[in-house]
């Protein structure tokens, strides 16, 4: 996917002399997928302008790293490689030491563990780098390596939609079951309303997924990029299990609040970390929907507590309205 002109325009420095050579180098770099060595970029640039020196390319690369437009990675080859950050989230790598190819992935469970360890040690994380070295499946079986596609924006969006769809399905199951269990009229109506909204959101997400697949016939076969084990079955799955054990109206609302709070925080947290991309938009849009549902449940819970409190006060009085002695 080609970077938009507005993004390329924003790469120019705010101060200092404009460099047409650096403009060209940056434009060529951000249009590439995968990981380029400095020599790879030099060869690419010289195909477009043989007059640009190797030193100029090196300086432009360092400028991009300093500006946060490029990331430097070390796969143990004895040289650095570079990847652009445009619409591409920070991630980890599997590195095959036989064919020297790398495979990208992002895991919320690994990130959560890093955060847990850093918090326990009162350590402020500036950057996390994880590389797993080994042998890829193709080298193990002796098959010829396939061309490396890199992690494209469409793969990122596909995985983001998968997580959102799984969560929506588990949310729909939760609210339908909660509606059947709830005795109070108002609580029942709230759960029915939320189940209806989940059904509509699910249909929208599934249609969006079908449209995305239409842009790439091989999309389903491409390797997974986002590994969110905690969300693989949907962020409401645990809540559905709790309802199955039997709960009252108040408990059902509390479980729903906890699930919506966890879902909102999950999608908001990761959406804010991603660079501008379709995957980022999917996560932040979904977070906003979860926030709205959370507020609905919180209002109903407060109303239920208030109704229960009023009922107790009335029950504490005699039929004539006088306090019991």
Domains, the chain, ordered by start: 17-86 (1.10.10.10), 153-314 (1.20.1260.10)
What is the DSSP secondary-structure string of 51-107? TS-HHHHHHHHHHHHHTTSEEEEE-SSSSEEEEE-TT----EEEEETTT--EEEEEE
Q: What is the mean pLDDT of residues 58-80?
A: 78
pLDDT grade for 197, boundaries at 50, 70 and 90? very high
| Percent of the chain residues topping a pLDDT of 90 | 31
pLDDT grade for 9, boundaries at 50, 70 and 90? low
pLDDT grade for 2, boundaries at 50, 70 and 90? very low
Asked if 187 contacts 252 with a C-beta cutoff of 8 angstroms, the reply is yes
**The pLDDT value given to residue 171:** 94
Is a pLDDT exceeding 80 seen at residue 151? Answer: no
157-170: per-residue pLDDT in tens? 899 999 999 999 99
210-252: per-residue pLDDT in tens? 999 998 888 888 888 888 777 767 789 889 999 988 889 999 9
Cα separation, 72 vs 62, whole angstroms: 9
Residue 231 sits at the vertex; the CA angle it makes with 230 and 236, to the nearest 5 degrees, is: 110
Strand order in the sheet with 80-84: 36-37, 80-84, 70-74
Asked if 166 contacts 287 with a C-beta cutoff of 8 angstroms, the reply is no
24-28, 51-55, 167-171, 319-323: range with lowest mean pLDDT: 319-323
Asked if 38 contacts 82 with a C-beta cutoff of 8 angstroms, the reply is yes
Asked if 222 contacts 157 with a C-beta cutoff of 8 angstroms, the reply is no
**Average pLDDT over the chain, rounded to whole?**
82
Cα-Cα end-to-end distance for the chain = 78
pLDDT grade for 127, boundaries at 50, 70 and 90? low
pTM for the full predicted model: 0.69
Cα separation, 95 vs 132, whole angstroms: 6
What is the DSSP code (8-state) at residue 132? Answer: E
Q: What is the mean pLDDT of residues 127-132?
A: 76
Asked if 228 contacts 165 with a C-beta cutoff of 8 angstroms, the reply is no
pLDDT grade for 16, boundaries at 50, 70 and 90? very low
296-312: per-residue pLDDT in tens? 999 999 999 998 887 66
Q: What is the mean pLDDT of residues 127-138?
A: 82
Q: What is the mean pLDDT of residues 264-291?
A: 87
> What kind and span of H or E run contains 133?
strand 131-134
**Cβ-Cβ contacts under 8 Å for 214 (sequence gap 6 or more):** none
């Amino acid at each position: 996917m080609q970077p938009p002109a507005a993004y390329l325009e924003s790469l120019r420095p705010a101060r200092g002399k404009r460099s047409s050579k650096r403009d060209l180098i940056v434009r060529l770099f951000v249009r590439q997928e995968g990981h380029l060595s400095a020599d790879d970029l030099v060869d690419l640039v010289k195909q477009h302008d043989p007059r640009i020196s190797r030193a100029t390319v090196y300086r432009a690369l360092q400028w991009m790293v300093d500006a946060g437009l490029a990331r430097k990675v070390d796969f143990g080859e004895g040289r650095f490689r570079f990847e652009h950050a445009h619409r591409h989230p920070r991630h980890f790598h599997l590195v095959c030491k036989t064919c020297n190819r790398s495979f990208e992935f992002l895991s919320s469970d690994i990130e959560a563990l890093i955060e847990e360890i850093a918090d326990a040690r009162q350590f402020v994380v500036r950057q996390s780098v994880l590389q797993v070295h080994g042998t890829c499946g193709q080298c193990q079986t002796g098959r010829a390596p396939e061309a490396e596609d890199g992690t494209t924006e469409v793969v990122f969006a596909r995985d983001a939609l998968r997580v959102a769809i799984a969560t929506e399905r588990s949310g729909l199951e939760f609210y339908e079951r909660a509606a059947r269990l709830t005795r109070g009229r108002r609580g029942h109506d709230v759960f029915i309303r939320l189940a209806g909204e989940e059904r509509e959101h699910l249909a929208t997400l599934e249609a969006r997924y079908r449209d995305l697949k239409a842009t790439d016939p091989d999309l389903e076969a491409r390797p997974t990029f986002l590994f969110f084990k905690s969300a693989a079955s949907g962020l409401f799955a645990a809540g559905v299990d709790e309802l199955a054990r039997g709960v009252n109206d108040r408990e059902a609302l509390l479980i729903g609040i906890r699930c919506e709070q966890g879902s909102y925080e999950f999608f908001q947290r990761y959406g804010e970390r991603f660079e501008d991309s379709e995957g980022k938009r999917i996560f932040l849009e979904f977070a906003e929907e979860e926030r709205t549902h959370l507020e609905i449940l919180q209002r109903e819970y407060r109303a239920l507590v208030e109704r229960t409190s009023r009922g107790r006060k009335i029950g504490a009085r005699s039929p004539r309205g006088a306090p019991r002695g």
